[in-house]
Amino acid sequence: MSVTIGAGETVLLPRNDLHLMGSDLRLPPVAGSDVIHPPKDGGLFSIHHGGNGKRTRMVCGFLGCDSAKGNPVISTLPPLLTLNVEQGGAAEWIRSTFQYAAEEVSIGRPGSETVLAKLSELLFVETVRRYAETLPDGQSGWLAGLRDPYVARALALLHRDIARRWTVDDLGRAVGLSRSALADRFIRLIGVPPMHYLANWRMQVATQQLRNSSISLAQVAEIVGYDSEAAFSRAFKKTFGTAPATWRREST
């Protein structure tokens, strides 16, 4: 797949798929190490390539995620997304954001890395929001679920109180639907039943706790809604194929 981009446009690769960039993709590619140059006195890396043609300036970066695999947002996105600053009500602030980012890169002032990281997050959110707004009727996936008021409310409740002993009946009463109606909507839009989604999300949160904290397995189990460390360990091993203690040692 080839995509032509112009001034002020953003391209996102949600799963970091292999890609090539160039003025003409028929030209032989070069390694990133040949064109990306480290800073001399600290700060940001820079890209220099080409001859005497018209100058093009690009701002490149990435957003890190502790556990991208199985993440409900990333898994529902296409391999490539584009954001055109000339479209939508947020065009002006996105355009000014690009200009500001370019100035930060060229000047290399202290703190540029932090500024660009926050700008990257904003651009990512805006791109995902626009993608969700253009989803056709009948589309399934996490973002499609957010457009349904009942499913969106159910998702918010599950994320807000992950440790609660939820049932589909409880969830249905909370959002104003019968058990069967909510289950049908959830499966049609999200692709799995509500309790299956909750179990998967609990494992996502558990991996974050195991990687980023030193709390005990029993504490992790309590945070993600399991009555005992043993029950949590069984569920974790069923999902990831290894015990949580082993996963933590290998991931930190």
pLDDT at 209: 92
| Residue 251, CA distances (Å) to 33, 149, 180, 244 in order | 28, 37, 40, 10
Compute the CA torsion angle 62, 67, 14, 85 (nearest 10 deg). -60
How would you write 112-149 as a 3-class SS string? HHHHHHHHHHHHHHHHHHHHHHCCCCCCCCHHHHHCCH
pLDDT along the chain (252 residues), means of 10: 79 82 82 82 75 78 66 75 70 69 67 74 78 71 82 92 94 95 92 92 92 93 95 94 93 76
Secondary structure of residue 156 in the 3-state scheme: helix
Fold of the 142-251 domain: Arc Repressor Mutant, subunit A (1.10.10)
CA distances, 220 to each of 178, 197, 231, 233 (Å): 32, 19, 12, 10
Whole-angstrom distance, CA of residue 195 vs CA of residue 166: 8
User: Is-contact 156 164, C-beta < 8 A?
Assistant: no
CA distance 130 to 92: 15
**Cα gap 211→19, rounded to integer Å:** 30
Query: d(Cα 196, Cα 126) in Å, to the nearest integer?
Result: 29
CA distances from 132 to 77, 88, 137, 166, 178 (A): 9, 13, 11, 28, 27
End-to-end CA distance of the chain: 37
Report the alpha-carbon distance of residue 75 to residue 89 in Å, rounded.
27
pLDDT at res. 166: 95
Strands 46-47 and 36-37: antiparallel
What pLDDT, on a 0 to 100 scale, did the predictor assign at position 134?
A: 76
Instruction: Output the pLDDT for position 89.
Output: 61
Domain assignments of the chain as residue spans, ordered by start: 9-133, 142-251
